[in-house]
Amino acid sequence: MTPAAFGPQDMLKLALDIEVRGREVYERLESSARDVQVKAVWASLKAQEFEHSRAFERLLRAAQSSLPDESSSAQVSPYLRALAAGRVFEEERLSRVLAAGVRSDLEALELAIGMERDTILAYLAFKEHLLGDSGRVLERILEEERRHVVALTELCGRIADRFPESPPDLPTGL
């Protein structure tokens, strides 16, 4: 991805990188999960991220003949370049968090919700520039990413309800 251009193939490559990294993260979170239900969610998300990466790999292979040229993305390339550059900083932060280890399943869920939201923002930016099969596949994956946020948020709420931060017999604020 050159700074001067950020075309459809670059978007697909970045989407593939996002899905591969997501699978790696979910694999690590699965191995450290304490709650059986949380562990099952990580396993499911890991499998879905794998399928998403396979879809983007197929689109990349077909990209030579089916995607428009990069000139159609010239007006948004500064935003897309900023998005790609911001991803580098996010990767560094994520690596530090994973290296230190998450302290709880709740913290891991909150981390995953942030990752999924970032993925949705990136894919929404790509959506108007990916046409044909690429656009349809991206839309399907976007819907799945939205469902991930909903499922993770609901599970986060259930976990938080089961394990309040302060014991019920102590006053809050101590």
* Per-residue 3-state assignment (H helix, E strand, C coil) for 68-125: CCHHHHCCCHHHHHHHHHHHHHHHHHHHHHHHHCCCCHHHHHHHHHHHHHHHHHHHHH
Instruction: Work out the pLDDT band at 94, boundaries 50, 70, 90.
Output: confident
Is the whole-model pTM more than 0.75?
A: yes
Locate the domains of the chain by residue range. Answer: 8-68+76-162
pLDDT for residue 172? 41
- 34-57 average pLDDT score: 95
Ranges 65-74, 98-107, 135-144, 157-166: which has the least confidence: 65-74
**Given 1.20.1260.10, 2.40.10.120, 3.40.50.10490, 1.20.140.10, which CATH number is that of 8-68+76-162?**
1.20.1260.10
